[in-house]
Structure 1
Amino acid sequence: MARAVVIGAGIGGLTAAVALQQRGWEVTVFERAPSLEPVGSGLAVAANALKALDTIGVGDEIRKLSAVQGEGGVRRADGRWLIRTTDEATTARYGGDSVVLLRRADLVGALSARLAPGTVRLNSTVKGVDPETGRVTVRTGSAETGPVESEPVEAELVVAADGIHSPTRVALFPGHPGPRYAGTTSWRVLIPYGSVPGQTSESWGDGKVFGVMPLAGGLVYCYATDAVPAGGGGGDQRAELLRLFGGWHDPIPALLAAAAPENVLRNDVHHLTTPLPAMHRGRVALLGDAAHPMTPNLGQGACQAIEDAVVLAHLADRGAAGLAGYTAARLKRTSEIVARSASICRATRIRNPLAVRLRDMTIALAWRLTPGRMTGAMDEVVGWTPPAP
């Protein structure tokens, strides 16, 4: 039985582990965290990722756990709609699926439940990978027990799903410049809310964005960005959000008032401005944020990691030729999506009042004149289909 090591038990790593096990691989997942409990945030899973999850038998469960995006669009800070969409139009366009919304923890739980017992090794930090032999050096242990150097593990395939600041990527491509600050900081928070707003929306202001995503079970996932220097934070981040967005349209102020300060997460946004030369080297394949970190503006970060995972599993048993095929199948597509997302990010960072007004007028006019064309602009992203079994 061929052996695979997966570095990182995020969404991409877990999807890869499930897909590889289903194809007969012996899989070990090394995760440095002490648990699989993910950050408290929500997630949008678009039609392309749902189709990928269908190939490993998880898609229908995710649909059941999710809320459908429904009617939504882009608004101004005062609430005026710039773009409005309907779930029916999107569903018809993409073959029965649109976008579903759920807690990140629910997707992680659904994936991890499909792994064989003992697959995931927690408190395990990968300290080195040899791409030629597939030898992985691991340090295990918690703060209580102290670090222990484990015996090296050799594998036919190593899947590096170790995040935006991937040490594996740095080791494989030491001359690459790596991710750069995108010019925005983001906030995320899950809010129990008795009267859940029925519409998903993203509102744009002067350098700022606020998103509202109703989830199942009376939860609302809110996210926000602001064009500020990197490295900020500290203190009461809910108070900071109220300062920035408390004067925006309903229900934003009420949602923020209901948020627990300790649940607000703040992170600087980084993305890859220069694509990697390849998504593999030797026996190692890079996946998700380790391969193509992107801004969140297209909602495709997790979706592309899921795509990566099922494509990699489909090709991995072909050895070196399969990994070369993985790069050929994924590098151009993901690089284009990274660039598209970055272009939207730049538009949200505009602060000059006249430029903001012009941006909003252009978006609204384009939508009124050619709504089908604007919806179709996502065809290449969301219309993707996984490889045939």
Structure 2
Amino acid sequence: MSLPRAIVVGAGIGGLTAAVALHRRGWRVTVLERAPALEPVGAGIAVAPNAQRALDVLELGDAVRALAAFSGTGGLRTPRGRWVSRTTGEAAAARFDGPVVLAHRAELVHLLVDALPEGTIRTGTTVTGVAPGAPGGAPAEVTAGRETAEAELLVAADGIHSRTRATLFPDHPGLAYAGFTAWRFVADAPPEGYVPHETWGRGRLWGTTPLTEGRVYCYATAVTPPGEHAPDDERAELRRLFGDWHQPVPRLLDAVAPGAVLRGDVHTLAAPLPALHRGRVALLGDAAHPMTPNLGQGGCQAIEDAVVLARLATADGELAAYTERRLARTTMVAHRSGRIARLTTWSSGPAVAARTLLFGAGRLLGPTAALRTLDGIADWRPPRADDPN
């Protein structure tokens, strides 16, 4: 018998993980990516223990753990540099049975691409139409230019502005602006001496994370109207917003080229989707449940989605079990991340002072206090092989 066919739309972290997972379970997989080449943006990704365990199913977990660049102390600071709270990699590993691995996105992409058969990924291919098909009936159809292809399963991993989501759920209200924009860059700076931290100010946030190979990943957010851009360049904008904050913030801004800073408004869904599937089409990652970056779980939840989908998908196209397994969980993670995001947007002096006191009190409870936001998230485990569901 011929292998069941799966088409994955989008070659981001979630789409590539789904392709590997489906390939490992005997599907004939094609990945359609609209970009002309797989060139991951210059950004980092946090791979928490829940995502690492999902990647263990694909025998890639240890390779990701090997990318870890730091296992010491990190925490939360004020713009003047005072430590508000601290935690340790050892505390995270003890609480969640594994550390959080901070890696360059390109490193994870390369691991996933190398796990796929040659010719699986077709770049420069823009999907212009989708027909969802029906479980047990017509296959799903994908149109790209003048070509149409059929598959027993279509995986929509086409990102936060997913055309597939809009096609499947035309009455859904769509995206909502989260109230702030984000910047990201990777600087060539020796990571020795750089301690992972976030610094929270009035409506602004800065994060520094050491990576491997002499690089440091930096990210920042600020409350701004949507759609704005710097009048000169985004590095100059970051200097205006963060240039007088504690070191190493100014030093890292000096280490990056003006054109290497990425900027993007942060959006979430105005309401959860009614389901993560329709017909033979399953949505995953940002196409299904975009969330704020404050828990570092966007990519992790996409990886979870992919492994669970591959475990549950069958050639007859019935995907209700996938929605049942993933919708409530991803909605919970998105809501929790959104609550933390709202804390970072506070700008009044009294509110920020109260926030600092609150997190400072958590410091008295030990290094595990800051990790509680990941309880019920980072301790997730994938379905067992003998799980009938």
* Interval containing the TM-score (normalised by the shorter chain): over 0.9
| 1:248-295 per-position Cα deviation (integer Å, ceiling 9, x unaligned) | 111111111111111100000001131000000000000000000000
Which among 142, 162, 169 is matched to residue 136 of structure 1?
Answer: 142
Partner of 1:304: 301
1:180, 1:186 → 2: CA distance? 15
SS in 1 for 2:377: helix
Note if contact 1:197-1:251 (Cα within 8 Å) is conserved in structure 2. no
**What code does the residue aligned with 2:142 have?**
V
- Tell me the matched-pair count: 377
1:370, 1:173 → 2: CA distance? 46
**What code does the residue aligned with 2:82 have?**
R
**What code does the residue aligned with 1:9 have?**
A
Shift of 1:320: 4.3
1:239-250 equivalences in 2 (<5 Å): 239-250=236-247
1:264, 1:100 → 2: CA distance? 23
2:101, 2:377 → 1: CA distance? 16
Matched, 1:175 2:171: yes
2:307, 2:367 → 1: CA distance? 32
**What code does the residue aligned with 1:51 have?**
R
SS in 1 for 2:314: helix
2:191, 2:327 → 1: CA distance? 43
Normalised to the residue count of structure 2, the TM-score between the two structures is 0.94
Which among 336, 340, 343 is matched to residue 344 of structure 1?
Answer: 340
Matched, 1:8 2:10: yes
**What code does the residue aligned with 1:273 have?**
A
Shift of 1:98: 1.2
Normalised to the residue count of structure 1, the TM-score between the two structures is 0.94
1:313-328 equivalences in 2 (<5 Å): 313-317=310-314, 319-321=316-318, 323-328=319-324
2:195, 2:132 → 1: CA distance? 47
Shift of 1:318: 6.4
Of residues 76-85 and 219-228 in structure 1, the stretch that sits farther from structure 2 once superposed is 76-85
- In structure 2, the gaps of 5 or more residues are 134-138
Aligned-CA RMSD value = 1.3
Matched, 1:162 2:158: yes
Note if contact 1:23-1:313 (Cα within 8 Å) is conserved in structure 2. yes
Partner of 2:189: 193
1:313, 1:195 → 2: CA distance? 37
**What code does the residue aligned with 2:196 have?**
T
Q: Is the alpha carbon distance of 1:13 and 1:195 closer, same or farther for their aligned partners in structure 2, counting shifts above 3 Å?
A: closer
**What code does the residue aligned with 1:357 have?**
A
SS in 2 for 1:309: helix
Note if contact 1:273-1:339 (Cα within 8 Å) is conserved in structure 2. no
**What code does the residue aligned with 1:354 have?**
P
Partner of 2:269: 272
Which among 282, 287, 290 is matched to residue 285 of structure 1?
Answer: 282
Give percent identity, aligned residues only. Answer: 55
Partner of 1:210: 206
Matched, 1:115 2:116: yes
Shift of 1:304: 0.3
